[in-house]
Structures are given as C-alpha cells and as structure tokens.
Amino acid sequence: MILLWSIDTQVEPSWMALMQTAADYALHAEGVKRECAVSLRLCDDDAIHEINRDYRGVDRATDVLSFPMINYPAGTTAGQADKLLRQAFDDEVDACMLGDLIISIPHVLAQAEEYGHSPQREAAYLLVHGICHLMGYDHIEEDDKRSMRAMEEKILSGIGMARDEQENSVSDETLLGLAVSARERSYSPYSGYAVGAALLSSDGRIFQGCNIENASFGLTNCAERTAMFKAISEGATEFTTIAISAEKSAPWPCGACRQVLNEFAPGIRVLVTWDGHVEEAPLSQLLPHGFGPKSLT
Ligand SMILES: [Zn+2]
C-alpha cells in the first residue's frame, strides 16, 4: 500500500513504520491483489475539527475521518470489487486510490491512555479502522459492524497488535504477505530484480525492507539487509524469522546477507516466496560453519 503522508503535528517515527505495515497487511488480509494508495493526514484536534465541520457538518473534533473514493455496492468490500478498484487507478500515484484518511494525534494519545494500551497500538487501530472504511466496511447495521470488527481484528492480530495479547501471533503467511508488499517499494531500475523482505523480531515487531540499487552499482543494498539494519537501528536484538519475496525465481539470500543475518540471528528461519512457491530453510543450513561473533572469542 502506498501511503501518501501529510503530517502537520509531532508524531513518533516508529508509529509510521507500524502504520505502513498495518496498511500493507490490510490489503493482504482483504485479498486485494492490486497496489492501492491512501492519502493519510496526521494532524491535531483543531485541524480534524475543521474538516469534520466543513465536510460532514459535525462541529467537533474526532479521532479518525475517512473519505472513500470508491462507492462499493451494498455488502461488497474491496476484495470483491476488482473492477471498481481498477476504475480508481490513478496514473500519477501508479496505484488505485482508495481515498483519504485523517487521524488526530491528540486523540491517539488520549484514547491509548483511556483504554490502557500503547499509543502505537491506538495509532495502528485507528489507521486500520479507517482503511476498513476505505475498503467498503461500515458499522451502521449490527451485521456489518461484526464483519468490520472481524476484519479489524484479523489485520491487527496478524501484525501482532491485537487487543488481547493471547491472540497475537505473527504467522508465516503474514510475513510472506508483508515481504510481497515491501517488494512494491523496491528500487531496482538496473537489475529489474525487485525483492522485498519482512523480518520478525522476538518482541513481535515486524521490519520490512526492499532492495535499493544505485547508479554506482557496488552501493546496492539487498532487501534482507535493509530490513535488518532498520530493525537494529530501532533497538530490536533478537529475530525468529525472515520472509523474502521476488517475482520469478527463488530469492535465497546472497552471501553478504547470510553473513549479516548470522551476526544477529544464527538460528533464524528463512522463508522465500516467488511466483506462488514457498520454501523454507534454517540459516544454519544456508551458511554452514559460519563465521560469527563467537568465532572471535
Ligand atoms: Zn543480499
């Protein structure tokens, strides 16, 4: 999912990475195969109050506002509306525009405190709630409300952000889906070989990465190392699984990436997916007799 950010208030950077992951997984959970985009504004209460008043005639601030671009027929959501998605394709963004979302950051903070969970979780929840609206869900009728709640929970528990921590388990299927989404952001104009990765840390966080090439070829960075370096720089220290996605052939990690994975997670599981195939191997099998931190002691 492409998020077109507009940020006019102070926001924790880690929230934005989580929102990107939640948005990617929302499309995957809904079964949408096309790349989609959402314009996402993070603002204060005055700004959301003004929009609520001017566009909806409601004279107060609120937590989240969504303005869908697509008019889904009753009982239909984005997963069953491929033709409508195609009609919403925007050449400039190179994706199907689902609509606009506005989230009030003061509401994120206040509601997190009220419900006794982290502001990250509240930010992810409001984003997911808004994206569900943009995908055609609503909560006016009791039946619709139930299916919207179910989809919200599916997305949040899939990325390890469910309200009930028992429900949280990031599956291989989630990681593979997030690796596919990360591939959309690959910068690979020279090789044309786009790769995406999703790395799961033991504390439940997911870090996505893509390969990033350079006109000075040797400076190219692989998707796996992008994900790993993001994770280390955000304070994650232990990792259980990495999923890697390419289009046409098995994207087993290159030698450099095996070495970097071995530095931090010699026991990590490596999943690769391409063209409908999935294969798995432990890193110890991909890098036998590896040279690592222990070799120096
Ligand atoms: Zn590599």
| Domain harbouring 96, CATH code | 3.40.390.30
pLDDT > 90? residue 204? no
Q: How far, in Å, is the centroid of ligand 1 from the Cα of 258?
A: 7
How far apart are the CA of 224 and the centre of ligand 1, in A?
6
CA 253–ligand 1 middle distance (angstroms) = 5
CA 260 / ligand 1 centre spacing (Å) = 9
Decide which of 167, 193, 211 is a domain's last residue: 167
| 67 & 213 share domain | no
How far away, in angstroms, is 31 Cα from ligand 1 center?
Answer: 29
Residue 181 pLDDT greater than 90, yes or no: yes
Encode pLDDT of 103-113 as tens digits: 999 999 999 99
Tokens of 170: 């990031």
161 and 231 in a single domain? The answer is no
CA of 44 to the centre of ligand 1 (A): 41
226 CA → ligand 1 middle, Å: 9
Lowest mean pLDDT, pick from 111-120, 156-165, 224-233: 156-165
CB burial of 185-224 (b: ≥16 within 10 Å; e: otherwise) equals: bbebeeeeebbbbbbbbeeebbbbbbbbbeeeeeebbbbb
CA 221 – ligand 1 centroid, Å: 7
Q: CA separation (Å) from 190 to 71, 98, 147?
A: 39, 31, 44
CA neighbor of 208 nearest in space, from 17, 16, 38, 72: 17
- The verdict on 137 and 228 lying in the same domain is no
pLDDT digits (tens, 9 = 90+) for 91-103: 999 999 999 999 9
Helix, coil or strand: residue 216? coil
Cα–ligand 1 centroid distance for 158 (angstroms): 27
Q: Which two tokens stand for residue 158?
A: 């899939």
Distance 255 CA to ligand 1 centre (A): 6
How remote is the CA of residue 198 from the centroid of ligand 1, in Å? 14
277 vs 13, higher pLDDT = 277
Mean pLDDT, residues 219-236:
96
Domain co-membership, 119 together with 6: yes
Distance 268 CA to ligand 1 centre (A): 15
Ligand 1 centre distance from Cα of residue 265 (Å): 15
Q: Cα of 17 to ligand 1 centre, how many Å?
A: 22
Ligand 1 centroid, distance to 192 Cα (angstroms): 15
- Look-up of token digits 């999923």: 243
Residue 230 pLDDT greater than 90, yes or no = yes
Residues 145 and 209 in one domain: no
Residues 208 and 148 in one domain: no
Does the pLDDT of residue 168 top 90, yes or no? no
- As a whole number of angstroms, the distance between CA 148 and CA 146 comes to 5
Answer with the one of 118, 140, 167 that is the final residue of a domain.
Answer: 167
Name the band, by pLDDT with cuts 50, 70 and 90, for residue 52: very high
Residue-wise pLDDT for 139-157, tens only, equals 999 999 999 999 999 999 8
Which region among 110-119, 163-172, 175-184 has the lowest average model confidence (pLDDT)? 163-172
Confidence of residue 90 (pLDDT cuts 50, 70, 90): very high
What is residue 164's predicted lDDT score, i.e. its pLDDT? 67
Going from the Cα of 195 to the center of ligand 1, the distance in angstroms, rounded, reads 10
Domain boundary among 167, 200, 215: 167
CATH of residue 238 = 3.40.140.10
Cα-to-centroid distance, 220 and ligand 1 (Å)? 9
Both 38 and 56 in one domain: the answer is yes
**Domain ranges, residue 239:** 172-296
pLDDT at residue 166, rounded to an integer: 62
How far does residue 47's CA lie from ligand 1's centre (Å)?
Answer: 44
125-148 in b/e burial notation, b at 16+ Cβ within 10 A?
bbbbbbbbbbbbbbeeeeebeebb
pLDDT at 232 > cutoff 90: yes
Lowest-pLDDT choice from 109-118, 161-170, 221-230: 161-170
- Structural domains counted in the chain: 2
Distance 82 CA to ligand 1 centre (A): 35
Beta strands 95-104 and 36-43, pairing class: parallel
What's the whole-number average pLDDT of the chain?
94
Average of pLDDT values for 262-274?
97
**pLDDT over threshold 90, residue 169:** no
Same domain? For 178 and 245 the reply is yes
User: Residue 248 C-alpha to ligand 1 middle, in angstroms?
Assistant: 17
Q: Tell me, yes or no, whether 9 and 100 share the same domain.
A: yes
